[in-house]
Structure 1
Amino acid sequence: IILALGSFPALQGIKLQQLTLLVCGLLAGCAAAIASGHLVIAGFLLGVATIKPQLAAIFAGWLMLWTFGSWRKRQSLLWSFAATMVILVLGGEALLPGWIGRFRNAANAYWQYTGGGKSVLDLVLGPLAGKIVAGILVLVLAGYCWRARSASAEGVEFRWTLALVCAVTLVVIPTYAPYNQLLLLLPLMAVAESAPFIAAKGTAARLLLMLAALSVLWPWLAALALCAVLPLLGSETVQHAWAVPLYTSLYIPLTVLGATWIGAAAARPRTRHAG
């Protein structure tokens, strides 16, 4: 918890009073509620999390698909989610008539101040290639989710699917702000727990795991290095290097996604074999 709250994404989110922090907490609470069998609570938390639709959309889509994978047992999740959405929409209309139209205007403004709706993939690969790769990722993720729709909430496959959903969401949404990287906490925990298993999958897997670790740890290492040389170089010189800890910011989502995908792909046959 201390490491998460002390990370740059968390500190940036706190400074900017970003609702992303709240939404990530709501999504984490939703996942925890599902794992403990409290589907009504999970549906409520998921509905509230849609205050940031770009972060919650794929997450909600996966959980609705998972609900239909065992409708009789899981339908309370959908009904709770739907009821929460109706209450939010009608309550918003009662408090602020015409808010939906205003929301569309705000969404257009959001598109502009986030750099024209550029995703991490757009920045790394270019607008055209980024959108093509994003579309492919979403389609492949949809196929993975479809095959995992019957997975038990307590199982490894369900956990890896949630991790994949979070990781893919972060690279395809039309914003690359670092504070959104808090959504990677679940993928990071899954990868860290299964690191030996992932590393055993070959040289490429080990390399990707190392790149992910380096990308995530770089801000901490760079910040510590700058603090260490502060007495020698002086504050003015060190302040000129303020961006050094952020050099890997764009690559953290990509490397974590790669490591998560390897872990998820490897966990599927292991899960089936265990069953």
Structure 2
Amino acid sequence: MWTAKEIPDLTGRTAVVTGASGGIGVPTALALAAHGARVVLTARDPGRGRAALEEIRAKVPGAAVEVGALDLSDLGSVRAFAETVREPLDLLVNNAGVGPMPRGTTADGFETQFGVNHLGHFALTGLLMPRLLAAPAARVVTVSSGAHAFGEIDFDDLGLERGYGSWAAYGRSKLANLLFALELQRRAEASGATLLSLAAHPGTTATGILRTGRPLSVLMRLLLRSPAKGALPSLYAATSPEAEGGQYVGPGPRVLRPSARAADPAVAARLWEVSEELTGVRFAES
């Protein structure tokens, strides 16, 4: 079974990991830094970001890590962070996310789960695309979920104003993540770019994303993966020489087959166009 010990030497590579102040973000950033990458940990909460930074430096003395302020629920914050990245970017791990929650809206008026999990990362990736294309073989890894299989995208009701369910909204946002990752790969291939786009499914992991207001049962806790194990699909997708663009990597790690909805290129293309309109971000040739 593939483990983080098989990550190749990443010296000279630069990585951005969103949501790196908790959950699977910390072990993802830790493993990349331990293998030589310069890692930018993004965090909405500066205090949690500094705590994650200190944890990584304690475990990897001399690690090249820094914290960047990023709130994916605010496109202004997304733009501000993207402007701080001024050099070629080898790896972007779109890891941050919010889980099933009561309906809310982002600073820009989008339904929160769709706005944070999909639109925030869509905009960030688009704004960083010139830096990604400046690297010789960049990768973008977007964390989705098995929950994408029950997600549906109604383009006539993206705000879920006709009826809101927290898990339905979560599944929809994770479906959008996977549609985006696969469409980015199609566009990269069409343009001849060397960039690879992959998606990852961490499995049911013991992270804050499962805090739905009810305590987890003892059995549930026993069945949950640790954050370190939950990070393995992302790390495999991000670093393995055997990983290929367009793959959806799940627990194991092993390559999974996306649902039929996620593999629909027509829906993906429409979602891309709508996402550009909503965020105002248009991608450089990828």
Q: What is the TM-score normalised by the length of structure 2? A: 0.30
Q: What is the TM-score normalised by the length of structure 1? A: 0.31
Name whichever structure is richer in helix by fraction.
1
Larger Rg: 1
Name whichever structure is richer in strand by fraction.
2
